[in-house]
Amino acid sequence: MPAYKAPLRDMRYVLYDVMGGDDLTSLPGYEDFTRDTLDAVLEEAAKICEQVLQPLNRSGDEEGCAYENGVVRTPKGFKQAYDTFRDGGWTSIACDPAFGGQGVPAALNTLVEEMICSANLSFGMYPGLSHGAYVALHGYGSDELKQAYLPKLVDGTWSGTMCLTEPHCGTDLGLMRTKAVPQEDGSYKITGTKTFISAGEHDLTENIVHLVLAKIPGGPKGIKGVSLFLVPKFLPDAEGRPGPRNGVRCGSIEHKMGIKASATCVMNFDDAQGWLIGQPHKGMQAMFAMMNAERLAVGVQGLGLAESAYQGAVTYAKERLQGRSLSGVKNPDKPADPLIVHPDIRRMLLTQRAYIEGGRALAIWAAKALDTAKKHPDPAERSKAEDFIAIVTPVIKAFLTDTGYEATNLGVQVFGGHGYIRDHGMEQFIRDGRIAQIYEGANGIQALDLVGRKMPAHAGRYLRTVFHPISDYIEANKSNADLADLIGPLGKAFGRLQQATLHVARVGMARPDEAGAAASDYLRLFGLTTLAYLWARMAEVSLPQADDPFHKAKVLTARFYMERLLPQTGALLSTILAGGKTMMAFEEAAF
């Protein structure tokens, strides 16, 4: 089974050296988050992930969750691990101090989330969903609901879910049938069935708070008639303790390809008592606050699993003796050379590494923007950060889960047949990672969001928050001889991205199917180019320190990315420009 070691040096490098994390203390409310404090949190997070969560990853996958008569039991050791996690304050680190949280910067919390996902993604689903419920309730709930529920969600004694989709509607939430009937006391009676509800039922917490999308009778049709409700598993008594059972039960759990220790439930609501969050018929506004936070978190899931797969593959490639080096024997005293001498093994390992370390830089860039949007005293800076978050959210969700899945597949390939069997634990990363490309809006939907909503918004204002830094960087470094082999490829990729953007904007207005046909390729082109910009920045940081092996590896990985991965942008542009005529002209009956 692969052992996980938190990549703390690389995390610190990205946070401080590349993204200037030391300036977080300049934001109001973050004055105490010095480098010493941030490092202490990272080190403690590494300990609980390496020592408590990771050892349960394989056993949790093998045992899975058990369902019987509406009761769900998590695998052996999960309850004790959750208690340790909660007692350590990890459920509260990213929450408002007004409700018992620690209020850490998003940049720090993102790195902690990555460690949790690397160590045990199934476990991380439980507190992860709770935090999503916290975000929606904190942003849109009444003061009464906040006071009653947020402290319990923050301290982890209660957990939360998001109940969106139904058996017949998938992502098209306007088709939902769950109804909410108003009551004289101001509450609602919720009736309906929700599917694919992560952490909908389990034995980790004393209560579960469901955030449920439903329609109030007589409201507008479709998505404009959707409202959001808080529906607890147990109705709190006068002292705030779990009281009588509400009308919500788990009807079954799904038998899944991966994340088997995370309970994915069918939830039945039968006249369950609930309370409106936000305004009637405005539920999607509140739910999207939760979903956007989850989409960024799902991107980090892909990153975390890729890191674990890479660590396992590197260890195996150094230890496994297989064949002889093409350039001559490297270990004459042994019957074969280690796998790592072979060019194709190095190709796979460096591909993993380039996507992981570039993806980590992108995640922290976005996380720092979240901190700016939340805390910066200048409204203009907050607005600019919000624009940036809007444009990169679909890219982070889709691109980091796509490349994360590619990295887990490469991890198995390095192991060969031994990766395909369960003994080494590598195939679990593939199975666990596959869902990340699907939930919280499948990656194709993220691509449509990028080209259909985010790209044209405010006459391209969102785009400028990414395009301008890249353009300015290329201009500032075009004469820098030390970066010539990086700036050149970056400039070509950026030119392709600009050309693709103009093409999609032009044809999409007249022929929406053309934009839809280009969407996924455009998102990947956007992601690859953005990572090229970040790799150039990392190389610039590391070049003066290239005598140090860590920094030398950074420079070499940046060059590998530019030479071996970034050329995809040429093919992607050709595909985008080819349009969607062939796919849309294909007769339905011919499929």
Return the residue matching tokens 């975000």. Answer: 135
Residues 6+ away with beta carbon under 8 Å from 101: 92, 93, 94, 95, 154
Pairing of strands 207-215, 158-163: parallel
* Rounded Cα–Cα distance for residues 289 and 261 (Å): 27
Q: Which of 166, 294, 427, 440 is catalytic?
A: 440
> Is 312 within 8 Å of 2 (Cβ atoms)?
yes
CB 468 within 8 A of CB 439: no
Residue 435 CA to residue 408 CA, distance in Å, equals 13
DSSP 452: I
Identify the sign of the CA torsion 24, 111, 124, 83: negative
Whole-number Å distance between alpha carbons of 397 and 261: 22
- Residue 338 pairs with which residues in a beta bridge? 321
- Whole-number Å distance between alpha carbons of 107 and 12: 11
477 phi-psi bin (left φ>0, alpha ψ -120 to 50, beta other): alpha
Q: What is the DSSP letter of 29?
A: T
Residues 6+ apart with CB under 8 A from 549: none
Q: Report the length, in residues, of the chain.
A: 591
**Which H or E run contains 163?**
strand 158-163
**Separation between Cα atoms, residue 106 and residue 145, nearest integer Å:** 25
Asked whether 203 and 195 are in contact (CB, 8 A), the reply is: no
Report residue 318 CA to chain centroid gap: 30
- The packing angle between helices 484-510 and 568-578, to 10°, is 10
Sequential DSSP letters for 315-353: HHHHH-B-S--TTS-S-TTSSS-BGGGSHHHHHHHHHHH
> Amino acid letter at 400?
L
- 3 state SS of 249: strand
Distance between start and end Cα atoms, the chain: 43
- Please confirm, yes or no, whether 201 is among the known catalytic residues: no
* Residue given tokens 């996380």 in the structure block: 367
User: Residue 543 is encoded by which pair of tokens?
Assistant: 């070049």
> In sequence order, what are the beta bridge partners of 264?
198
What does 219-233 look like in DSSP terms, one character per residue? S-SGGGGEEEEEEES
Active site residues: 440
